[in-house]
Structure 1
């Protein structure tokens, strides 16, 4: 239990999360995040992603408690025995994706994504994309609403809604998933090595503009996007024993 003596509590905006933070601080104390052994995030999955991004360079483990809606990345909220729960929590390490996007004006933009990098059409016109893997073109022209590359941790989010596969954390793969593909009609995506470099070029970009989003960082009017895993960045999430992220991802594959 001494490993997590210094706890920083952070909360999403909203009465429930902020009240929960006040109660936990009164009971267990509070330190600034930069002085913490662990950060306890109170909110939903969106707030957990925000917290992970904010503390990406600190290597401090993050333990979430659900005060939001979905809570897939969160533990059950309880004010009791928090030090014991933290001490027995199981750590899951995830690596984000690194996006490098080139816009139509020639500017380049880099961002990290814990869930996915998604390209989406900006207008009523469908997007036309060319997809290359490790320098070899695999799809000459994908006519679609967009496409995404998802991590295992993010495979149950937007990727699953786009009918992409659920990925076990230790599978060592990424999901490349089309979004509402019109041509080729029967292409459902691909499983790629986590070491793969994905290059997506936007065809007819002036007529069919496309945006690229790494989690919640958006770049408009892109002409090319390169996506690869960032193995040099490790994020540590803590989950209660028996309710880890691996178990939740496995359960998602058996839900109707």
Structure 2
């Protein structure tokens, strides 16, 4: 079995990397059967993003001391091969954004947990937001919007008062950031078949950027946000982590 290890720069993760790679070897990700991460959720998400270019490459995350790891299994050096074979596979949806920047440049980016549209300057962002094919756009003023997947709904989305989405559901959540008129806006739960169109009003004077855990693109004029129709990533969880995720999301195994 070939394993590619990825570790955060923290000393605990680097020490575990040395011990595990000495025991099991270190293989380039493109040639590996599994990617094993050492750290917390940030390291796991970086590896999951890496697998977008390597379809069906599963990620087994292990949490090191002082790291936050909702997505992570416990760190143990012994028995890794057996744990990888016994772990349950959780297929996670991928969000996609088709973006047009000022000047007409177009880009596409992907996210595992959330996509954030947010103001770049002191002035509030002015956004025209529409669910494609579902009526007239809504104009809102505020710090921005967050589109999240079920696995991402426990994080930043929750700090903004957004809903917790059931793990494995075909849903997305749209949550506002400091919306200027809160009575005119509330978090929305959408089917993951929906497409969200956002246009930035007065983009030159109220610039907006789009951000994921892996990149930030400034000066957005408009963006189309949706679940990618042909991409998923695979997270491996053992029994302990699976029970914790089910408890966190209020779902029985």
TM-score above 0.5, yes or no = yes
Please name the residue that 2:21 is paired with.
Answer: 25
Find the counterpart in structure 1 of residue 90 from structure 2.
Answer: 92
Task: Please tell me whether residue 60 in structure 1 is matched to residue 57 in structure 2.
Answer: yes
The offset of 1:28, in angstroms, is: 2.1
> Partner of 2:168 in structure 1?
170
Distance 1:252 1:69, change over 3 A: farther
C-alpha root-mean-square deviation of aligned residues, in Å? 1.8
Where has structure 1 moved over 3 Å in runs of 4 or more?
Answer: 135-139
- Mean CA deviation greater in 5-14 or 116-125: 5-14
CA deviations 1:124-147 (Å, max 9, x no partner) are: 111111111124455521111100
Correspondence for 1:51 among 42, 47, 52: 47
Compared with structure 1, are the counterparts of its residues 253 and 207 closer, same or farther at alpha carbon in structure 2 (3 Å cutoff)? farther
Q: Which residue of 1 aligns with 2:146?
A: 148
Where in structure 1 are there 5+ consecutive unaligned residues?
A: none
Secondary structure (helix, strand or coil) at the match of 2:74 reads coil
Equivalent residue in structure 2 for 1:192, among 164, 185, 190: 190
Please name the residue that 2:34 is paired with: 38
Deviation at 1:39, TM superposition (A): 0.9
Question: Does the 8 Å CA contact 1:118/1:214 hold for their aligned counterparts?
Answer: yes
Alpha-carbon distance between aligned partners in 2 of 1:151 and 1:82, rounded to the nearest angstrom = 29
Distance in 2, Cα, partners of 1:172 & 1:252: 14
SS of the residue 1:91 aligns to: strand
Contact 1:118–1:147 under 8 Å retained in 2: yes
Distance apart, 1:252 and its partner CA: 5.3
Equivalent-residue separation in structure 2 for 1:8 and 1:195 (angstroms): 34
CA distance in 2, matches of 1:91, 1:124: 43
Structure-1 residue corresponding to 2:231: 233
CA distance in 1, matches of 2:135, 2:181: 16
Give the TM-score, by structure 2 length.
0.92
Partner residue, 1:179: 177
Q: Is the Cα contact below 8 Å between 2:167 and 2:249 reproduced in 1?
A: no
Please give the alpha-carbon distance, in whole angstroms, between the structure 1 residues aligned to 2:147 and 2:200: 15
- The alpha-carbon distance between structure 1 residues 221 and 215, as it changes in their structure 2 partners (threshold 3 A), is same
Q: By how many angstroms is 1:14 displaced?
A: 2.5
Tell me how far apart the structure 2 counterparts of residues 249 and 131 of structure 1 sit (CA, whole Å): 33
TM-superposed CA distance for 1:98, in Å, is 0.7
Q: Return the TM-score normalized by structure 1.
A: 0.91
